[in-house]
Amino acid sequence: MLLSQQYRRLVFFHKYAALLYLLLYSLSMGLFFKLRLYELEYYPLDSYLTKHKIREYGLVRLRGNLGSIREWWMLLLLLIGIGVGLLLFFDTGRKLKQPRAAALLVTLGALIPLLPPYNENVLTRIAVGTGLLFFGALGQWFFNLSSFSKKSPYRKQHSYFDDVR
């Protein structure tokens, strides 16, 4: 395989891997929320507030465990996101000489829903992780937009398009 073909495949992976993971994550989270999300009614009675722990967990909740994600397919999806983010983080700086902050945001976005404390509602951690994942995927795509242009400040000085076997 020629060096230019390897470089193009590498840039294609780095450009679209985070966006494809974001799309898969969004679809899975939509299905997860459709199946597991519910909302309690609000009654200002102290007995109702303490019985349902509304001050700690809020009104919008997930069925099952309120503090962490227990579904195996969501855990697997988040672990895949951590793997994709770490692969992009280490590969981007080493091979493409581009900023790695966007890949680190993808990693953190997939990691945050798995982190403790488990005594609060997991929905806040999911919201923060989704925001980081969104900005990381868009940043990764943006940094790789100019990988083939001559005006990229991140490109090495020698040409990648030399057809050397």
pLDDT tens digits for range 52-111:
888 788 888 887 777 788 889 999 999 999 999 999 888 876 766 777 888 999 999 999
Average pLDDT of the chain?
A: 82
Q: How confident is the model at residue 132 (pLDDT cuts 50, 70, 90)?
A: very high
Residue 165 lies in a domain: no
Residue 4 lies in a domain: no
pTM over 0.75: yes
Is residue 110 within 8 Å of 87, Cβ to Cβ? no
Residue 94 lies in a domain: yes
Residue 148 lies in a domain: no
Residue 51 lies in a domain: yes
Give the pLDDT confidence score for residue 159 in this predicted structure. 52
Q: Which helix (H) or strand (E) holds 61?
A: strand 60-62
Residue 164 lies in a domain: no
Q: How many domains does the chain have?
A: 1
Which among 108, 165, 133, 104 has a CA at the least distance from the CA of 29? 133
Which among 9, 15, 60 has a CA at the least distance from the CA of 154? 15
Q: Give the range of the structural domain holding residue 104, as residue numbers without chain letter.
A: 13-143
Residue 62: φ, ψ to 5°:
-100, 145
